[in-house]
A and B are shown apart, each in its own frame.
Chain A
Amino acid sequence: GAVVSQHPSRVICKSGTSVKIECRSLDFQATTMFWYRQFPKQSLMLMATSNEGSKATYEQGVEKDKFLINHASLTLSTLTVTSAHPEDSSFYICSATYGYNEQFFGPGTRLTVL
């Protein structure tokens, strides 16, 4: 149980385009989803926290207009990187949870912006 999927697993896009990453909780209803960013050989940095039906809460330094997060249902959250640039290339990982439980992590999405 407690499986979280992400789609796509890898995406390559041109600079200036937008990319959408989906995060789904497959077998539970996720009241909260988190989005992390991980640079090579570095730790996970929390980008934002999203509760179903509410606006996401972004961490300091994360541009909310660039990283659009939507948590429209209890099983789906999306992260859209708008007008992507090469410096946005990274590994994006989502996690999902319900109440005060552990976070269940997705397998991650590798974004490469050319």
Chain B
Amino acid sequence: AQSVTQPDIHITVSEGASLELRCNYSYGATPYLFWYVQSPGQGLQLLLKYFSGDTLVQGIKGFEAEFKRSQSSFNLRKPSVHWSDAAEYFCAVGASGAGSYQLTFGKGTKLSVIP
């Protein structure tokens, strides 16, 4: 069965600083990887996804992630954090099911931004 590990429960960065959120996955086949963001009391918004091809993936809001098969990682990065980026971030791996992908989520990383 697939699994996702997000080692950092809570990260605090200063506004304007760079950010990297870590994600490691375990999956026996080619992984389909996702990063989602969730604001308090809200649903999830997709930041970016990796299915195949270029291992550096660009997403919305200036985020990017790099798929490293050798390290089983899919870390999320942003060069300059804005106060509005404060939220919960979830990494997920998709497993092919009957007609769709099933997602397994990591436990999430809460991002706090200091003005």
Q: Which residues of A does B touch, CB under 8 Å?
A: 4, 6, 31-32, 34, 42-44, 46, 49, 51, 57, 91, 93, 95, 97, 99-103, 105-108, 110
Min distance, Cβ A6 to any Cβ of chain B, angstroms = 8
B4-16, CB under 8 A of A: which get 1 and which 0?
Answer: 0000000000000
Q: A43-B90, A49-B97, A102-B49 are in contact. Are A107 and B103 (CB under 8 A)?
A: no
Task: List chain B residues, Cβ under 8 A from A6.
Answer: 43
Residue pair A99, B106 in contact (C-beta under 8 Å): no
Min distance, Cβ A112 to any Cβ of chain B, angstroms = 13
Min distance, Cβ B32 to any Cβ of chain A, angstroms = 9
Min distance, Cβ B100 to any Cβ of chain A, angstroms = 4
* 14 A-B residue pairings within 8 Å (CB atoms): A34-B102, A34-B103, A42-B107, A42-B108, A43-B90, A95-B44, A97-B101, A100-B99, A100-B101, A102-B49, A103-B100, A105-B44, A108-B41, A108-B42
Question: With A and B bound together, what is the CA distance between A91 and B44 in angstroms?
Answer: 12
Residue pair A102, B100 in contact (C-beta under 8 Å): no
Contact size class for B? Answer: 20 to 34
Min distance, Cβ A30 to any Cβ of chain B, angstroms = 10
Interface of B is mostly: strand
Kindly identify which residue among A44, A46, A95, A100 contacts B90, using a CB–CB cutoff of 8 Å.
Answer: A44
Of B43, B97, B98, most buried by chain A (CB within 10 Å of CB) is: B43
Kindly identify which residue among B43, B45, B100 contacts A99, using a CB–CB cutoff of 8 Å.
Answer: B100
Kindly identify, within residues 4 to 31 of chain B, every residue whose CB is under 8 Å from any CB belonging to chain A.
Answer: none
Question: With A and B bound together, what is the CA distance between A97 and B46 in angstroms?
Answer: 13
Min distance, Cβ A75 to any Cβ of chain B, angstroms = 16
Closest A residue by C-beta to B92:
A44
Task: List chain B residues, Cβ under 8 A from A31.
Answer: 99-100
Kindly identify, within residues 82 to 115 of chain B, every residue whose CB is under 8 Å from any CB belonging to chain A.
Answer: 90, 96-108
Which 3 interchain pairs have the tightest Cβ spacing?
Answer: A105-B43, A32-B100, A105-B44
Residue pair B100, A49 in contact (C-beta under 8 Å): yes
Closest A residue by C-beta to B88:
A41
